Structure 1
Amino acid sequence: MTQGKVSVTSKSNNDSDVQPMASVPPSYEEATAGGSPCYSGAYPGDGEMLTEFSWDDQNIRRIFIRKVYTILMIQLSVTIAFVALFVFCEPVKYYIQTNPGWYWASYVVFFVTYLTLSCCRGPRRQFPWNLILLMIFTLSLSYMTGMLSSYYNTKSVIICLGITALVCLAITIFSFQTKIDITSCQGVLLVFCTVLFICGLVLAFTLPFGYVPWLHAVYAVLGAILFCMFLAFDTQMLMGKKQYTISPEEYIFATLSIYLDIVYIFSFILQLFGTPERE
């Protein structure tokens, strides 16, 4: 017995006689205990909002898209409710038009919450503060959109809402189906932003000297085209599998971007096709 033990020990100490043992692969729970490196930011650069990795897990992408569009539908429902209230209810319409201070207060709240959600990753990812800030942002922008709609004819507002819905649906379907990588067209978006900014400055300087209908129409057309392109851009970033994608942890920023695109498309279409009440 002792000789057997000694021989086994000497054999185990001899590296030339012992075959290397294969390491046992970790279980699924052990492998995923620290989070997937593609989504948790375990690798350098993966924690950024805009990433260039490919999503291999289709289930994560589907859950991410479903979450974004669920929140988006709630936001749009709130905005439509504000528009309907300010357009159809005459006492409310009269009150908001005679008290423009609420509009500027809403604009300040909108601007502060937008900068917070866009530039600060902590509040944007920390639950429930991210949803609270997004709710405040939605209410302020909905008030501004409803007040803008109150100055237009009721029928034209309804028509512009329908046009916006059809345009956004067509752009979303196109972005999901096309093989064109719109996320690689940042230069085109930059050019359109520059042109729209210059046109807006010219319109602001000429407006005190008199209303120029054709210049306002050009500005509205450029704005509608630009934000239609932004909607396609943000939708493809939401989908993934393109040059640039949004991290699945950034569902608040994705919802914010698409919601803002749709509201701005409606605003520019309303300026382009809407009939002011004074006419």
Structure 2
Amino acid sequence: MPKADTPPAYEDAILTPKYEDLRHLPQYSDPGHGVGPDPPPAPPPAYSPGPGSMAAGPGFLPVGMPHSIIPTLSAGVSTHSHGDMDEFVNDQWESTSVRHAFIRKVYLILAAQLSFTVGIVAVFTFVDPVRQFVIRNPAVYWASFGIYFIVYCVLICCKEPRRRFPLNLVLLGVFTLAMSYMTGTIASYYDTKAVFLAIGITTVVCLAVTIFCFQTKVDFTSCGGLLCILAVLLMIIGIITAVVLSFQYIPWLHMLYAAIGAVIYTLFLAYNTQLLIGNRELSLGPEEYIYGALSLYIDIVQIFLFILEIGGAALD
């Protein structure tokens, strides 16, 4: 391009435009008015920086130019999106913190219940007068079982601790006492070795199931229907076993029943454990910690009783 055709610099065009240099441009025909030069464009307004403002130059925008044309990392994202994202992150963090606090509360209550139950079982196992009294009076066991069943039904019907927190806490204490008493009466009929063996195996099984439920992607909460069927099957097998053993038929049938019961309640333990986690198909609410501790407590005690039955029959 010739030097005469080189356009002026940007600063010169803005501050001192020279439109007379446009005369050498070729003429264009106008269909309505013949041939003639096109009118020059309107000159842009001169920029005069005000006091305290930054002068226009390379790398700076003139005063008054909209700044929204500058591309940023948030281009295409509305201003409300940042607030929504922060709110989403805060909600996720808050829900995770609430769930962790809920799990800690459940396991603290469960630890207190199991400690009390182990103490009661130790009394019925090592204190010989108490043990002999229970063996001579089987009505003690049936009374504790009746209290256990009634309190359990009441706790299920009113598992809303926000409204009935003192009542639920009292019922939970009464239920723990009844369940511990029933477990102690059953343990008094077995040898001390069988009791220690059952406690050790139950501890290992519960720890393994708990760790597995917190690590696995398998959702046991979606198997509620299957667990209900297994519970009904266990009840039917228990009735048949009670009838058959009353006539002294098939003496090993109670061991088979105990093995099936231990497996089914281990599955129930996995189901109730994943209800606490909260990232499965079903989950407990943050305020249902009493019900969560109650469910785990029943599963663990039932596993202990079934393993005690197997171990006691094997050691006899």
Match status 1:250 vs 2:288:
yes
- Structure 2 CA distance, aligned partners of 1:72 and 1:125? 22
Partner of 1:266: 304
Q: Which residue is 1:171 aligned to?
A: 209
Aligned runs of 1:1-279 on 2, under 5 Å? 57-121=95-159, 126-275=164-313, 279=316
Following TM superposition, by how much is the alpha carbon of 1:195 offset from its aligned partner in structure 2, in angstroms? 2.2
CA distance in 1, matches of 2:250, 2:121: 27
Amino acid at match of 1:157: V
More moved, 56-65 vs 79-88 = 56-65
Distance 2:239 2:272 in 1: 26
Question: Structure 1's 125 and 268: CA in aligned 2 closer, same or farther, altered over 3 A?
Answer: farther
CA contact (8 A) 1:227 1:265 kept: yes
Give the unaligned 5+ runs of structure 2: 1-90
Q: Map Cα deviations across residues 111-166 of structure 1 (whole Å, 9 max, x no partner).
A: 11100001224578512221111000000000110111111110111011000000
Distance 1:266 1:74 in 2: 17
Distance 1:210 1:55 in 2: 60
Q: Is the 8 A contact 1:183 1:236 kept in 2?
A: yes
**Residues 42-76 of structure 1, C-alpha deviations (whole Å, 9 max, x = no match):** xxxxxxxxxxxx99611100110000000000000
TM score, norm. by length of structure 1: 0.77
Do the aligned partners of residues 70 and 123 (structure 1) sit closer, same or farther apart at CA in structure 2, a change above 3 Å counting?
A: closer
TM-score after normalising by structure 2: 0.68
Q: Is the 8 A contact 2:284 2:292 kept in 1?
A: yes
Report the Cα offset of residue 234 of structure 1: 0.2
Contact 1:117 1:123 in 2 (8 A): no
Encode CA deviations 1:173-226: one digit per residue, 9 max, x unaligned: 000110111111123212322321221121122122115233211111110000
- Give identity over the alignment, percent: 50
Instruction: Give, in whole Å, the separation in 1 of the partners of 2:162 and 2:143.
Output: 22
Residue type of the partner of 2:270? A
Aligned positions, number: 229
| Equivalent residue, structure 2, for 1:48 | none
**Closer, same or farther: CA 122–250 of 1 in aligned 2, 3 Å:** closer
- My pick for the range that moved more, 90-99 or 183-192, is 183-192
What is the root-mean-square deviation of aligned Cα atoms in Å?
A: 2.4
What's the secondary structure of 2:252's corresponding residue?
A: helix
Q: Tell me the residue number matched to 1:18.
A: none
Stretch moving more, 115-124 or 85-94: 115-124
Which secondary structure state, in structure 2, belongs to the residue aligned with residue 103 of structure 1?
helix
> Residues 55, 228 of structure 1: CA spacing in aligned structure 2 closer, same or farther, 3 A cutoff?
farther
**C-alpha distance in structure 2 between counterparts of 1:87 and 1:161, whole Å:** 13
Cα distance in 2 for residues equivalent to 1:104 and 1:251: 29
Kindly tell me: are residues 57 and 124 of structure 1, through their superposed partners in 2, closer, same or farther at Cα, counting changes over 3 Å? closer
What SS class does the counterpart of residue 194 from structure 1 fall into?
A: helix
Which has more radius of gyration? Answer: 2
